[in-house]
Chains A and B, each alone.
Chain A
Amino acid sequence: MRLYPTPSQTVGPYFHIGTDDGFIRGELVAPDHPDAVRLFGTVRDGEGAPINDSMIEIWQANSAGRYAHPEDVRDDLPLEEGFDGFGRTHTDDDGRYEFLTVKPGVVPGRDGRPQAPHIDVSVFARGLLKRLVTRIYFPDEAEANEADPLLSSIEDAATRAALVAVADDGGLRFDINLQGDRETTFFAV
C-alpha cells in the first residue's frame, strides 16, 4: 500500500499556544558549556520587515558528528548525555531568534565523502504554507566547506555563501530572508 503524505498547512499566527510551554528549547547546551556557540539571526519578509511570528527548529549532530537517532549506527562515536541535537524557538518582536548550541562534527554524506559541519533548519510562519528548509555552515570551516558535497554542487558563489553563518558579536549570525535580493538559499528536502 502506497499512500500520499497528508498536505502541509501553515502554522498560522497562534502556534505559540501549542509549541511553547515546556516544548520550546533555545538552549541545546547549558550556558556554561565550554564549547557553547550562540547562533542567532533575524527573520525578514520580502519587504525587509522583521517577522515576529515564526518558529525556527534546528537539527544537528553532536560535536563528535553523531546523531542521537537510532539510524546513526556508528557506535564508535560517542553520544553526549543531555544533548539530543534538537532546538526550537520562536522569533521575538524584532524578528530575532537565538540558540545556544555546539558546533556539530563531520558527518558522512551519501557518497562517503564527509560533509562539512552543518545544522539543518526548518522555518515555519504565518504565510508559509509549508516549512522552508535551509542549512547553516560554519565560517571557520573554509576548507571543509570547500569540499562539502552539497556546497560544492552549488555553482553560484552568492547562493553558496548565503549558507555560511557570519561571525558576529561573539557568536554566529545567520539571518533568514524569506524573499528578495538577499533571499536565503532554501532547499527542497
Chain B
Amino acid sequence: MAQRVTRGVQIAGYRRDDVEVDPPYLHPDYVATRTRSPKRPLLLLPHTLSEVTGPVYGHDRIGELDHDLTRQHDGEPIGERIILHGRVLDGDGRPVRGTLVEIWQANSAGRYKHVVDGHPAPLDPNFTGAGRCLTDDEGNYRFITIKPGAYPWPNHPNAWRAQHVHFSVFGPAFATRLVTQMYFPGDPLFFQDPIFHSVRDPKHRDRMISAFDLDNTVEEWALAYRFDIVLRGREATPMED
C-alpha cells in the first residue's frame, strides 16, 4: 500500500468510476430534475486531504432498537416483516467497517410519516420508518422492518414509485458519501419509474435491486432480502497533478 499522507502532500484519491454508474443530473423523465440540475459542467475537484477524510459520525448516537423498525413503538407495525441485510464494501471488495447506515421508507400501505405526504393511505401508529446501524467488522449491516408499499406521485399521469427503501452511507471519506435507494426483485412498477431508470446502464441499475435471500430467512417469522452496497474504491498510488 502506498503511503497516503505525508503532511498531506501525497494523497491517494478515490477512483472516479462513479461517473460511469451514476445517473445524470438532468433526467427529464424525472420532472424535478429539470429545474434542479446544474446547466454548467461540473469542475474537477482533485482529491486533497479535505476529500479523503470525512465524518466519523453517529457512533455514539445509535439506540439499541434503531436497527429494528418493528420495535420502535408500543405495538408491531402492520405489514410483511422482512430482514434487510448486506455488506458495505469498498471498490476493492473489502469490508467498510464501523460506518453509519441510515434508512427511511414508507409503511406497508405506501405512506410516509411525513407532513408533505398526501397519499390517502393510512399511517401506522406503530411505524416511523427510520432505521440506522453501524457496519460490523465484516462490513455487515442488518435491519428488521416491514416491506414498504408502492405509492403514487405526481411526476406523470398514474405515476407510481416502485417499492423502495432509502439508504444513506458515509464510508471513510467525504468522497465516498452515498445516498441511494434499494428496490425489490420482480417489481412490476420498474418499467415506469424514472428514478429507477435514471441509472442508464441496466447492469448497474440492477445492482440497486436486492436479492431474495432464502438462507437468511427466519422460519415462521420473516423473509430476508440482501443488498450489498459498494462505495468508491481508492487509487492504489498517489496521483500526479
- A45 touching B43 by the CB < 8 A rule? no
Complex Cα–Cα for A5 and B179 (A): 11
Q: Which residue of B lies closest to A74 (CB)?
A: B7
Contact of A7 among B45, B55, B208 (CB under 8 A): B208
Q: What's the minimum C-beta distance from A185 to chain B, rounded to whole angstroms? A: 7
Complex Cα–Cα for A7 and B178 (A): 8
Q: What's the minimum C-beta distance from A15 to chain B, rounded to whole angstroms? A: 7
Q: Which residues of A contact B39 (CB under 8 A)?
A: 46, 179-180, 183
Q: Which residue of A lies closest to B128 (CB)?
A: A17
Contact of B21 among A5, A60, A159 (CB under 8 A): A5
Q: Which residue of B lies closest to A18 (CB)?
A: B104
B131 within 8 A of A: yes
- A6 touching B35 by the CB < 8 A rule? no
Complex Cα–Cα for A183 and B55 (A): 27
Do A188 and B42 form a contact, CB below 8 Å, given A4-B21, A120-B50?
Answer: yes
- B129 touching A17 by the CB < 8 A rule? yes
Do A19 and B35 form a contact, CB below 8 Å, given A2-B92, A5-B91, A69-B53?
Answer: no
Complex Cα–Cα for A93 and B215 (A): 46
Do A107 and B20 form a contact, CB below 8 Å, given A3-B89, A7-B180?
Answer: no
- A111 touching B9 by the CB < 8 A rule? yes
Q: What's the minimum C-beta distance from A92 to chain B, rounded to whole angstroms? A: 13
B192 within 8 A of A: no
Complex Cα–Cα for A18 and B90 (A): 23
- B48 touching A110 by the CB < 8 A rule? yes
Do A72 and B5 form a contact, CB below 8 Å, given A3-B93, A4-B230, A189-B175?
Answer: yes
Q: Which residues of A contact B175 (CB under 8 A)?
A: 189
Complex Cα–Cα for A12 and B104 (A): 11
Q: What's the minimum C-beta distance from B217 to chain A, rounded to whole angstroms? A: 24
Q: Which residues of B contact A68 (CB under 8 A)?
A: 56
- B93 touching A5 by the CB < 8 A rule? no
A84-98 vs B, Cβ < 8 Å mask (1 yes, 0 no): 111000000000000
- 20 additional contacts, CB 8 Å, given A6-B207, A109-B49? A1-B92, A5-B91, A6-B231, A15-B168, A18-B129, A19-B104, A19-B168, A23-B58, A69-B54, A71-B4, A84-B56, A127-B35, A129-B23, A129-B195, A133-B45, A150-B45, A180-B39, A183-B38, A183-B40, A186-B38
Residues of A with Cβ closer than 8 Å to B? 1-19, 21-23, 45-47, 49, 51, 53, 57, 59-61, 67-69, 71-74, 84-86, 107-112, 115, 118, 120, 122, 124-133, 135, 150, 154, 159, 178-180, 183-189
